[in-house]
Amino acid sequence: MTALLRLLSRLGPLFLFLLLESISLYLVVTYNSEQGRLYLSSTNRFTSFVNRQVSGVTGYANLRDENQELVEEIIDLRERLGNAYYDNTASIDTALADSSALPLYTYIDARVINNSISRKNNFLTLNKGSKHGLRPHMGVISNDGVVGIVRQVSPHYAMVMSVLHSKTRITAEIRDKGYFGALVWKEQDPRFMYLEDVPKHHFIELGDTVQTSRFSHIFPEGIALGEIADFSVPEGGSNFNIRVRLNTEMGRLRQVLVVNNLMSEEIEQLEEGVLNE
Amino acid sequence: MNSAVLANIVRFIGLLLLQVLIIKQIELGPIGGSIIQLFVYPLFLLLIPLRTSRELQLLIGFVVGISIDLFYNSAGLHASACVFLAYVRPYVLRIVEPRAGYDKTKGLTPERINWGWFVRYASLGTLVHSLWFHLVDAFTFAAFGAILLKTVLSVAFSLLFMFILVLVFNPKD
């Protein structure tokens, strides 16, 4: 150690500073850039142990809130059950009933063990990985909306690109109106995203619900993401500038669902085939 | 191992745990989340004894930063800011140097010097660290206004936490 320090002191603090700073910046560029590899440190044994403990404690501290959310979810699901509707039909055509419906989406539950919201590109770590059927490009949702897209998986963990990421583009539409656009995160505020590419001749209102689009094969159609908080037309622009208040509190995520599209491979192959023609 | 080294090791572990166990949860927001990044660990770098060689200070800065990075999934980002702070610390100290100068054998604490000096020193040090951090995070000079806003907010709230810590523990060295 003394020999090392003596060597370093001969080279001088400036040299050492440049060396250490280069190492740091190399790590930043390699692991943190949007295209670069992701840094899965939250999955190494020690930090994942600490993260799990923290997640355990905060999970306990949030039991009351979580319970409330579950109750609301149960109520919501019960309301969607057949027996919650007044049956107004005179006769049901059994030939068309359900037998033709194939399951398209399945869900895998996971827990958030690491999260960030205040950086320019944010990621989450989940406690489920390839062993549980997670694969890159799967969508991640919570009770209140969309959380992100799986980027990398290890056997027991997954790294999710949060919607709070400068490269996020989620196809979204305005409920009941069908106008669609791309949802992006521009401001550094974790409460808001922007819906882009909606032409200004459409009619939209404050409070309109923004939901996942039918054109996405990552997320099921119709998941409410947020509400229009305000909108304007930039001077000379042909599209609205729509600010969307997210339903999800990204910082408070605990339990999430990973969306598995059973037909994603088929769609991808089909689309690739057309593109390669 | 002398007591100063031991005290610094304890301080390092304490601040690391505080940062990754509690401050990180505050950042995620019981108050709803925000753009504010809170830092308490620079306090450790600010309090490193004056007689430590500059090379050792830089190495310590790197180790502190990498340790924080492990928990934040942010390879190199905190390390880069820490190394930068460790490098400019002597210049910061020179800028805020009291008329009587520094006593190399004594700690850089409000207890040994005074609170007015410490507030200036910690503010400047945290500002340097936080500005570098947000610049590297954005990795561009575009949107400099946003970077500056985040920096100012981070510094203000981080200092609040650091001053409370120093008030409570009142370290001598």
| pLDDT band of A96, cuts 50, 70, 90 | very low
Chain A interface, best mutation among B28, B52, B84, B158, by max A CB count within 10 A: B28
**Exposed, middle or buried by CB within 10 Å (0-12, 13-18, 19+), for A130?**
middle
Q: How far from chain centre, in Å, is Cα B163?
A: 12
| Least confident span in A60-74, A221-235, B109-123 | A60-74
Q: Is the pLDDT of residue A45 over 70?
A: no
Chain B interface, best mutation among A8, A9, A28, by max B CB count within 10 A: A28
| Residue contact B83–A189, C-beta within 8 A | no
Q: Find out whether B77 and A25 touch, Cβ atoms under 8 Å.
A: no
Nearest to B11 by CA among B38, B47, B37: B47
B91 contact A CB<8A: no
E strands present in chain A: 105-115, 121-126, 139-142, 145-153, 158-165, 170-174, 180-184, 192-196, 209-212, 224-232, 241-246, 255-261
Q: By percentage, how much of chain A surpasses pLDDT 70?
A: 82
Q: Find out whether A262 and A106 touch, Cβ atoms under 8 Å.
A: yes
Mean pLDDT of A68-87: 65
CATH architecture of A38-79+108-262: Beta Barrel (2.40)
Type of residue numbered A44: N
Task: Name the DSSP letter for residue B124.
Answer: H
B160 contact A CB<8A: no
d(CA B90, CA B118): 14
The strand pair at A145-153 and A105-115 is best described as: unpaired
| Residue contact B71–A47, C-beta within 8 A | yes
pLDDT of the residue at B39: 92
Mean pLDDT of A47-69: 73
The top-scoring range by mean pLDDT among A19-33, A59-73, A83-97, B21-35 is A19-33
Q: How many domains does chain B have?
A: 1
* pTM of this structure: 0.74
Mean pLDDT of A158-164: 91
Task: Name the DSSP letter for residue A206.
Answer: T
| pLDDT band of A265, cuts 50, 70, 90 | confident
pLDDT of the residue at A41: 52
Type of residue numbered B118: F
Chain B interface, best mutation among A4, A116, A119, by max B CB count within 10 A: A119
Which residues of chain B fall short of a pLDDT of 70? 1, 29-34
In sign, the C-alpha dihedral spanning B133, B136, B138, B141 is: positive
Helix (H, G, I), strand (E, B) or coil at A132: helix
Q: Is the pLDDT of residue A119 over 90?
A: no
Interior CA angle at A12 toward A10 and A17, to 5°?
Answer: 140
Q: Is the pLDDT of residue A82 over 60?
A: no
A232 contact B CB<8A: no
pLDDT of the residue at A92: 47
Contacting residues of B for A251, CB less than 8 Å apart:
27-29, 32-33
pLDDT of the residue at A95: 46
First to last CA, chain A: 63
Q: Find out whether A154 and A43 touch, Cβ atoms under 8 Å.
A: yes
pLDDT of the residue at A221: 85
| Residue contact A39–B75, C-beta within 8 A | yes
pLDDT of the residue at A35: 46
**ipTM value:** 0.87
Nearest to A168 by CA among A99, A94, A133, A219: A219
More confident residue, A271 or B162: B162
Domain range annotation of chain A: 2-32, 38-79+108-262
pLDDT of the residue at B102: 86
Contacting residues of A for B75, CB less than 8 Å apart:
27-28, 30-32, 39, 41
Mean pLDDT of A262-274: 82
pLDDT of the residue at A154: 87
**Exposed, middle or buried by CB within 10 Å (0-12, 13-18, 19+), for A166?**
middle
pLDDT of the residue at B40: 93
Helix (H, G, I), strand (E, B) or coil at B49: coil
- Nearest Cα residue in chain B from A49: B71
Segments forming the whole domain that contains residue B155: 3-169
Q: How many CA atoms lie within 13 A of B5 on its CB side?
A: 4
